């Protein structure tokens, strides 16, 4: 419980103190759309096709599968190496 209170106090302090200490200057360059100076010429909210999401999900599934099988193989190797001969 003590750690929770301390962690909450530190997180709150790190969240609130920058708003109190930082200068609140509004700069025209910082509030512009892009640093390069070009105005946006289209909608920034573009829709992605479903195939993009399917490929991303398949990548995550195979990546997790490779990690799981790699850990399994390593554990099996360690267990096999410790068995008496």
Is the pLDDT at 40 greater than 80? The verdict is no
pTM above 0.75, yes or no: no
How many domains does the chain contain in total?
1
* DSSP codes, 33-83: S-TTSPPP-S-S-PPPPHHHHHHHHHHHHHHHHHHHHHHHHHHHHHHHHHS
pLDDT in tens, 41-84: 666 667 778 888 899 899 888 888 888 888 888 888 888 877 67
Range of the domain at 28: 2-82
Q: What does the buried/exposed string (b/e) look like for 64-85 if buried means 16 or more CB atoms within 10 Å of the residue's CB?
A: eeeeeeeeeeeeeeeeeeeeee
């Amino acid at each position: 419980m003590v750690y929770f209170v301390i962690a909450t106090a530190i997180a709150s302090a790190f969240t609130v103190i920058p708003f109190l200490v930082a200068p609140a200057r509004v700069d025209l360059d910082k509030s512009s759309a892009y640093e390069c100076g070009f105005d946006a010429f289209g909608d920034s909210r573009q829709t992605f096709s479903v195939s993009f999401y399917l490929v991303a999900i398949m990548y995550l599934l195979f990546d997790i599968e490779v990690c799981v099988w790699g850990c399994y193989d390593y554990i099996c190797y360690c267990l096999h190496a410790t068995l008496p001969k």
